[in-house]
Structure 1
């Protein structure tokens, strides 16, 4: 009994002592970090019993011991700590709360939410190095049964430098901080950079980083820059989107970015991949952006991207910095087929230039095979993409509504690979051909968008698969139609400068909508739509019964026969003498001389300038006259009488010269047959005197033997019908427009 009492008393005393100790000496992690610098310098193993700190002296400390236990380890000071062995410790249970889940069912991927605070902290000025080029030296704890990789429970904060000198595969958990994480070159270790990381510093990849895999997505929204001196690989889980918003840099030849994605997955790159010639590892940058476009010695500025069956977007519509600035000598871009063909979307909010070809070879040998994928120019407002190199991918090119794709620039000429059904252009925006020296051919162009020829080099549309329905504009140079290509589906054809040429290859251009401008059509015109004056037609001009010639104040120049069976539409508010020579831009409402110069208002015979009806583009004399209008005959136009000459202008043009302001009727010159033509009204409102249509319509029939149809049909808006004999009085409809048939 006594002995039991003694034992009990001893136990109570011991408990009291324990309680006393508890009250006066809380655990080390609660009282502040424990400094284990002496143990580390001596190479002794360290057991963490709370928060622990190592204060490094200058220089390098190589540590062959290990850390174990529970707590957080902080490395501070000005030196470097090199770990030669793997260490395994964790935070205390009270500080572990992150949720790790495996989703995706048969396609599992890992997510981490509400991550734990860091178990490893590298303060500014200090360096922590995992390993010395071998396979050990990592700090980590791996309690999770994650697929295809080992997720580290020990999250890390890096405000100083973390050097990863490991040859194994490893994971660092969730990373915070603003320092530098660097991996030496040629070690061939693989860093599985899984999950979302608040890290805002710089990553220097010397060998291999997996920034996403089928088993995890990677998010690095705050990373400032990546110095990529190895291979940066991006992948996605099934149906997931991964966005990389940082700028990439490289200093050495041989670095690249490899991108893969699962079905439904997408990778968005919103930064820029540039060469770096300054800033070192901690702040890589380029002194002059032009250096991206200029080869450097030993090709040290050549960098590339390999898209392996992935859906990749350059830009997200909020920037206009091209992801890969450079030429074929400084960058390479490969579209490869893995599980599927690749897709590259360019999505910018302003103009960008792609100066390199897209191919499908192996790494730097990009043009050894065509690229296996399709390219899309997104319809983001302002998205204006220029291809300044000959493209070598074998898929489709889609230009969405609102977007612009240009072929060629001052940096180089551009083209698209054609020749198969797969190699086609779906143009729902605007496609601009602006090569300077290299001709380009497009054989399959569809969609609802417009086409613009604006380069000095010829662009050829080839084959019957040219079916786009937007406007066709020729600003300069030559647009050629070959091998059955037509513009029958285009909404309108416009030639906007005297040097603009539309070459039909000897076939008459079939106009089913409208043709206008001041350029040249080589090969003739078959007009079933509307043709505005001012063009030069080299070849025959045929205006069908359904067609319509609209006078725009500029004469139509014809270097062949003119066959007319359609109508003439004059401007609704044409002045008494709206004229200009071919090549002028005078329009309705202006008064100009036969050579396009301004003239006074038409109030007297001397104030009314001559009217050039037809500009004979050749040098031979004009032969023949209009029926009933011999040389010197007079015709009334808009309240004035004009005398016709077939030797006007430069000696062979058809010109009308005013002779009086107040005619009492139509007068004829010597030798007139006396048949005459009545005064006429144009297509304007009732009572407004305008040009009659006969001088213009008949003038077109003059060249090449004066092929004039028996009947000129007009609609009820004022255009007349001409037969062979007699004159039938015109009737007025309820709108004041003339109807009937004028015969002569």
Structure 2
């Protein structure tokens, strides 16, 4: 008896034959769907009468027939179906629902609402090709009177591949699906990509696509990527905004994104335009972002954008991937004038981005053949921080909106802006930072309410009288220079923040109308109409007018030239003056005024100019309650000193009882010896004066050193003798020597 598992050789052979037949048989067709595969393979025309399917065998099948009738067409299988002739059919009336509207009056544009379901479907794994490289092979029905283009009524779903091998201008309706829509390179046809497409696959532009026109808008809310290997040409209807959020890629030399807009319109690009070295057509990507920043053999990663009189915005404030990453060797950016309109490029990011290429105005790759015809804006979006790491070559304005930062120069290269000409101005309401390391630059026509920061080793020069910005000026390192009438008189504060910081006045006196502070060097003279804080070195003269105030902090103001107060009162001795207010914070004010001493603010010691002759000089305004202890060497209580041509008597109990005050006396420089003896006289040394432990400034000592006291407060008797030996030789010449009050 045979085992139940035994199968005869004849049965095995029969099963193998069945399996082979099943392997080559077409997939099952749903009930009511007509399979026209045999007709297509035989090149017979097909008249649709409902839903129809073609199963394409492996390899390439060229169909020389046409589809007509009423229904839908689904292309499936593992091969490629090439259509050599135009076909025209329609959906059944019951499935037609889309609303086509033309609006805009004298500037008409067309929109499609509630699109019809797809009339053509390309299933996954299958390729449908329109055309053989000529002008025919399209499936389409065109019943609409749409200005400017022919809208295809037959919408298409692409889950496989739709290849557009046509040399004419055409439209394929509304695209859906997840696959690939591709145009071969060198195929000089144009796809009118019109309307809103729910397509979530990849669009491969091999030669040219019109993505929006004045006659229709475009939207690709879900498209995964754009593989751009030709010219991606964007345009808009009047007063419309077109936003494309896709990343763009390219694999061939010279592809570009060209943007046009109508008045009142703009184009927003929120993705990034990169080279692609992996993923093929269906999933383009870049293995290393740095490839965008270095030249590749044969320049295959060279790509660009031409902005043709358009208003373009890179970013929408929700990303910090710059649209065009690269250098002049890998990208080009051109701003052109078109139809009487100049271009405008706005950077709108929520974090730092770097532009490594120049913005010019030449043709395609020759971007520096002419200046760019347009303006650049850094939008005031929170976190928007844009770096120009290349010399810019556009001829328009640069606007930094409030809250935004524009930096010139980075580790990738030095940056600059084109200067000269009526249009070339900077409107800075945010922050402009210059941090070039090698390339010195000039900036002119700089206005706005924003701040300027010099932080690079290379020199930045402000030129011309149109430097009018009102924000803070900060020099962190390197040199900020003024030339040809440029001033900082409108800047609300000028700060030098390191010993390497240098402010070059260009041979003219720096007019300080607000605040000058820090620890760097002012190369030139200073005219103080505001507040100057100690710690700086001034290589020229220091002149202070009636309104000016010198605030002495932890370190002295060093002046190489003359020190002149208002009214011509010259305080200079030996060409130098210095003032020191001890260590730590201070709550005292030393002032020179034409009346009573000025009140003290926490953390300040100051010298204020008055008119000549000065009746009373408050050297130290002690704002606390404790007595002032000690005395300056040689300046005991009541000692007479001479300042210019006036004799003063010093007291350590002046003002409200604990201030150091000089009061003009009736005594002349030729007073008798007995008069001098009665008041006391001594050499002006550097013995410290300090306040008690309690009170507003505690125990900190305050000293006006020899440069300003030892040199300026000269005992009257010594002045009459023409000088004498300084006593207390064990102390540092001209420096503070504090003794803390207890």
| TM more than 0.5 | yes
Instruction: Determine the C-alpha separation between the residues in 2 that align with 1:443 and 1:675.
Output: 57
**Of residues 621, 627, 630 in structure 2, which corresponds to 1:641?**
630
> Per-residue displacement from partner, 1:639-678 (whole Å, max 9, x unpaired)?
33255499xxxxxxxxxxxxx9xx999999xx9972699x
The residue number in structure 2 matching 1:42 is 42
The residue number in structure 2 matching 1:329 is 329
Q: CA deviation at 1:278?
A: 1.1
Instruction: Determine the C-alpha separation between the residues in 1 that align with 2:308 and 2:438.
Output: 34
**Of residues 677, 680, 686 in structure 2, which corresponds to 1:674?**
680
- CA gap of 1:544–1:326, structure 2 versus 1, over 3 A, is same
- Partner of 1:695, secondary structure, is coil
The residue number in structure 2 matching 1:726 is none
> Per-residue displacement from partner, 1:18-48 (whole Å, max 9, x unpaired)?
xxxxxxxxxxx99521111111111111110
Tell me, yes or no, if structure 1 residue 165 matches structure 2 residue 171. no
Q: CA deviation at 1:52?
A: 0.3
Instruction: Determine the C-alpha separation between the residues in 1 that align with 2:178 and 2:214.
Output: 28
Instruction: Determine the C-alpha separation between the residues in 1 that align with 2:129 and 2:586.
Output: 80
- CA gap of 1:687–1:176, structure 2 versus 1, over 3 A, is closer
> Per-residue displacement from partner, 1:329-383 (whole Å, max 9, x unpaired)?
1000000000200000000000000000000001111000000000000000000
Instruction: Determine the C-alpha separation between the residues in 2 that align with 1:644 and 1:212.
Output: 86
Q: CA deviation at 1:473?
A: 0.4
Instruction: Determine the C-alpha separation between the residues in 1 that align with 2:527 and 2:702.
Output: 20
The residue number in structure 2 matching 1:150 is 150
- CA gap of 1:556–1:78, structure 2 versus 1, over 3 A, is same
Instruction: Determine the C-alpha separation between the residues in 2 that align with 1:291 and 1:638.
Output: 72
Structure-to-structure mapping, 1:297-312, within 5 angstroms? 297-312=297-312
Q: CA deviation at 1:693?
A: 8.5
Q: CA deviation at 1:563?
A: 1.9
Structure 1: runs of 5 or more not aligned: 1-28, 568-576, 581-585, 591-611, 615-626, 629-636, 647-659, 711-744
Instruction: Determine the C-alpha separation between the residues in 2 that align with 1:400 and 1:109.
Output: 34
- CA gap of 1:664–1:308, structure 2 versus 1, over 3 A, is closer
Q: CA deviation at 1:59?
A: 1.0
The residue number in structure 2 matching 1:338 is 338
Instruction: Determine the C-alpha separation between the residues in 2 that align with 1:666 and 1:297.
Output: 78
Instruction: Determine the C-alpha separation between the residues in 2 that align with 1:310 and 1:419.
Output: 24
C-alpha contact (below 8 Å) 1:641/1:666 kept by paired residues: no
- Partner of 1:71, secondary structure, is strand
Tell me, yes or no, if structure 1 residue 390 matches structure 2 residue 379. no
**Of residues 556, 572, 579 in structure 1, which corresponds to 2:582?**
579
Instruction: Determine the C-alpha separation between the residues in 2 that align with 1:667 and 1:104.
Output: 81
The residue number in structure 2 matching 1:624 is none
Tell me, yes or no, if structure 1 residue 223 matches structure 2 residue 206. no
The residue number in structure 2 matching 1:358 is 359
- CA gap of 1:78–1:419, structure 2 versus 1, over 3 A, is same
Structure-to-structure mapping, 1:274-285, within 5 angstroms? 274-285=274-285
- CA gap of 1:665–1:515, structure 2 versus 1, over 3 A, is closer
> Per-residue displacement from partner, 1:40-73 (whole Å, max 9, x unpaired)?
1111111100000011111111100100001110
- Partner of 1:292, secondary structure, is helix
C-alpha contact (below 8 Å) 2:346/2:378 kept by paired residues: yes
Q: CA deviation at 1:579?
A: 2.5
The residue number in structure 2 matching 1:423 is 424
Instruction: Determine the C-alpha separation between the residues in 2 that align with 1:356 and 1:279.
Output: 27
Instruction: Determine the C-alpha separation between the residues in 1 that align with 2:495 and 2:188.
Output: 60
C-alpha contact (below 8 Å) 2:501/2:520 kept by paired residues: yes
Q: CA deviation at 1:422?
A: 0.8
The residue number in structure 1 matching 2:491 is 490
TM-score, length of structure 2 as denominator length: 0.77
TM-score, length of structure 1 as denominator length: 0.77
> Per-residue displacement from partner, 1:74-130 (whole Å, max 9, x unpaired)?
001111100010000010000001000111111010000000000000000111000
Instruction: Determine the C-alpha separation between the residues in 2 that align with 1:555 and 1:507.
Output: 23
Tell me, yes or no, if structure 1 residue 400 matches structure 2 residue 409. no
> Per-residue displacement from partner, 1:148-174 (whole Å, max 9, x unpaired)?
111000000000000001101110100
Q: CA deviation at 1:545?
A: 2.2
C-alpha contact (below 8 Å) 2:581/2:704 kept by paired residues: no
C-alpha contact (below 8 Å) 1:563/1:707 kept by paired residues: no
Structure-to-structure mapping, 1:453-532, within 5 angstroms? 453-532=454-533
Instruction: Determine the C-alpha separation between the residues in 2 that align with 1:224 and 1:686.
Output: 71
- CA gap of 1:254–1:324, structure 2 versus 1, over 3 A, is same
Q: Cα RMSD over matched residues? A: 3.2
Instruction: Determine the C-alpha separation between the residues in 1 that align with 2:661 and 2:404.
Output: 59
- CA gap of 1:501–1:208, structure 2 versus 1, over 3 A, is same
Instruction: Determine the C-alpha separation between the residues in 2 that align with 1:564 and 1:299.
Output: 66
Q: CA deviation at 1:588?
A: 4.0
C-alpha contact (below 8 Å) 1:197/1:221 kept by paired residues: yes
Structure 2: runs of 5 or more not aligned: 1-28, 570-579, 589-604, 608-615, 618-625, 636-651, 663-675, 717-742
The residue number in structure 2 matching 1:93 is 93
Is 547-556 or 326-335 further displaced after alignment?
547-556
Structure-to-structure mapping, 1:511-660, within 5 angstroms? 511-565=512-566, 579=582, 587-588=585-586, 639-644=628-633
The residue number in structure 2 matching 1:19 is none
Instruction: Determine the C-alpha separation between the residues in 2 that align with 1:279 and 1:687.
Output: 72
Structure-to-structure mapping, 1:243-258, within 5 angstroms? 243-258=243-258
Instruction: Determine the C-alpha separation between the residues in 2 that align with 1:193 and 1:120.
Output: 17
- Partner of 2:262, secondary structure, is coil
- Partner of 1:367, secondary structure, is helix
- CA gap of 1:418–1:153, structure 2 versus 1, over 3 A, is same
The residue number in structure 2 matching 1:186 is 186
- CA gap of 1:701–1:674, structure 2 versus 1, over 3 A, is closer
C-alpha contact (below 8 Å) 1:680/1:691 kept by paired residues: no
C-alpha contact (below 8 Å) 1:554/1:587 kept by paired residues: no
The residue number in structure 1 matching 2:648 is none
- Partner of 1:51, secondary structure, is strand
- CA gap of 1:61–1:151, structure 2 versus 1, over 3 A, is same
- CA gap of 1:154–1:414, structure 2 versus 1, over 3 A, is same
Instruction: Determine the C-alpha separation between the residues in 2 that align with 1:665 and 1:119.
Output: 96
- Partner of 2:704, secondary structure, is helix
Instruction: Determine the C-alpha separation between the residues in 1 that align with 2:518 and 2:700.
Output: 21
Instruction: Determine the C-alpha separation between the residues in 2 that align with 1:274 and 1:376.
Output: 23
